[in-house]
Chain A
Amino acid sequence: MSSLNPYQDPEPGKVVSPFAQSENAVPRKNGGNTKVVLWIGLAVVLIAAGAVAGIFLTGYLNDPYRTLEPFPVSKFLDTPRSLMGSKFKAELRVEADLAYKEGVGRLMLFSTKDDSRPIAVMVPTPVAKDIYFTKGQTYMAELEVKEGGLIYANSCKKN
Chain B
Amino acid sequence: MTRLQTISGSFRMSLLHFFTDPQWIIPNIIAPFVFTIVALVLFGNVSASVALYAVLGGGMMGMWGNTLYGSGFALAFDRWNGTIEYVLATPSRLVWIIAGRSASNAVLGLVNAFAIVLVVAIGYGTLFVVANPVLFILALILTLASLSALGVVFCSAFLLSRSAQVMTNGLEMPIYVATGSMFPIALLPFWSHPISLSLGPTWGIDAMRYAADATYTGLGFGYWTDLLLVAASTAIYMAIGFWLFIVVEKKVRRDATLTEY
Partners in one complex: no
